[in-house]
């Protein structure tokens, strides 16, 4: 789940995206990837090599030098998070904290839960709770690492909580903090792999690092070149998916994002579908699947995905936004406007996303011949700092 969230942070529109996209790009931003005009070609099919089998819980616990009970409880709690049974997951992770107070696992699980809740809507409503859980996990790990015995797990957890902190900083636009946390996480991951080389889950971190560092450095002239390690990254992700004790489903979702980046939508959908079969109520996965279906122009199916999300009673605000995109692509502009104005009525969407949405409302009203309504929408978007709305407003005037 940690890696899945990091992949989502890399591929979801960051806080400043609305102001950088041109009008045409902005209208098509559901298909956006990080890599646009860089020289990398699609990586194509990847030979995964021999895929590891998932070790038994007892064997994996031995690799990590921890009680089997701790790993069993961790597996059960992670399943609850993947299945979006957050209340039960919170109870399960709190129980781990009581029983294993120096493992860092309990509060890290709570931090994952709050980060997942925020990712469902691309907001920061649980910022305080997330930061508290992250700090508690680090405090536990400091005590645990001062003792001997469970270092592979503790370094693995430190890598995880550092990755979560990097996700949070990245979404906030604090890139220096994100880089610092990511480097801490990679060092901890290396230590975990050195101490438990047969434990398969850390390969998800290796895979993400190799794949996304290639993408990010290729997309920016300000960053030093990095060899094209996308194939190696995907291979490591496949190994984590096959053998992961805790993070196998997370590897599937990470690969869905990677295949979106590769514009290999059938493979992306295959990975998202794999998780739908196991966790039909996982909103992060369902929202990803909806966007893939939209990019594939399978609009009826995409609408069904967003309708399911909204029917869950989860009050998922962002689903209205993406539902509006699908309706707009189908030419159902009045319904698209209703979906977007519903999203705009919620208090929690960040101003950047509201500006982007007002721009879309303006375009839709313009296409229905409502120039006065379009002007009002573009004005609202421009006031929120959306450059596309400002440019459209100048054209109208």
HSE, side-chain direction, 13 A CA sphere, residue 348? 15
Tokens at 97, concatenated? 């904290």
- Show the domain range for 139: 2-17+53-316
Tokens at 306, concatenated? 């967003």
Tokens at 396, concatenated? 């109208």
Tally of domains in the chain: 1
Residue percentage of the chain with pLDDT more than 90: 68
Residue 28 belongs to some domain of the structure = no
Single pTM value for the model: 0.85
pLDDT at res. 12: 41
Mean pLDDT of 34-42: 63
Residue 193 belongs to some domain of the structure = yes
Residue 83 belongs to some domain of the structure = yes
DSSP string for 172-229: HT-HHHHHHHHHHHHHHHHHHHHH-TT--TTHHHHHHHHHHHHHHHHT-TTS------
Q: What is the CATH classification number for the domain harbouring 273?
A: 1.25.40.10
- Which positions ≥6 away from 345 have C-beta within 8 Å? none
Residue 127 belongs to some domain of the structure = yes
Residue 184 belongs to some domain of the structure = yes
* pLDDT tens-digit readout, 236-294: 999 999 999 999 999 999 999 999 999 999 999 999 999 999 999 999 999 999 999 99
Residue 32: pLDDT band with limits 50, 70, 90:
low
pLDDT at res. 22: 32
pLDDT at res. 171: 81
Report d(CA 378, CA 392) in Å as an integer.
Answer: 7
Residue 345 belongs to some domain of the structure = no
Residue 387 belongs to some domain of the structure = no
Residue 95 belongs to some domain of the structure = yes
């Amino acid at each position: 789940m940690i890696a899945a969230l990091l992949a989502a942070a890399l591929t979801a529109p960051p806080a400043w995206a609305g102001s950088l996209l041109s009008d045409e790009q902005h209208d098509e931003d559901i298909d956006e990837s990080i890599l646009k005009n860089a020289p990398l070609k699609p990586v194509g099919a990847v030979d995964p090599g021999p895929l590891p089998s998932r070790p038994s819980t007892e064997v994996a616990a031995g690799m990590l030098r921890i009680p089997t009970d701790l790993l069993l409880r961790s597996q059960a709690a992670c399943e609850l998070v993947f299945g979006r049974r957050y209340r039960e997951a919170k109870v399960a992770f709190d129980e781990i904290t009581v029983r294993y107070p120096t493992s860092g696992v309990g509060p890290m699980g709570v931090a994952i839960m709050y980060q997942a809740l925020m990712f469902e809507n691309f907001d920061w409503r649980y910022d305080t709770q997330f930061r508290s859980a992250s700090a508690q996990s680090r405090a536990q790990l400091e005590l645990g690492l001062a003792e001997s015995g469970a270092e592979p797990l503790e370094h693995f957890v430190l890598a995880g909580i550092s990755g979560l902190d990097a996700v949070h900083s990245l979404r906030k636009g604090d890139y220096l903090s994100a880089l610092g946390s990511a480097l801490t996480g990679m060092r901890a991951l290396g230590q975990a792999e050195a101490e438990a080389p047969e434990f398969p889950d850390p390969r998800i971190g290796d895979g993400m690092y190799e794949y996304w560092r290639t993408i990010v450095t290729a997309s920016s002239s300000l960053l030093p070149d990095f060899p094209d390690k996308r194939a190696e990254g995907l291979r490591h992700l496949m190994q984590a998916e096959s053998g992961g004790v805790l993070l196998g489903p997370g590897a599937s979702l990470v690969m869905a994002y990677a295949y979106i980046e590769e514009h290999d939508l059938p493979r992306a959908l295959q990975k998202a579908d794999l998780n739908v079969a196991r966790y039909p109520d996982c909103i992060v996965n369902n929202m990803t699947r909806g966007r893939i279906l939209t990019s594939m122009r399978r609009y009826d199916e995409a609408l069904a995905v967003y309708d399911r999300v909204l029917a869950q009673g989860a009050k998922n605000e962002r689903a209205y936004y993406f539902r509006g995109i699908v309706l707009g692509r189908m030419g159902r502009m009045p319904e698209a406007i209703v979906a977007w104005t519903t999203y705009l009525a919620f208090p929690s969407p960040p101003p950047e996303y509201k500006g982007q949405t007002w721009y879309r409302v303006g375009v839709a009203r313009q296409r229905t011949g409502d120039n006065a309504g379009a002007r009002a929408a573009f004005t609202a978007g421009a006031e929120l700092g959306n450059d596309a709305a400002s440019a459209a407003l100048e054209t109208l005037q």
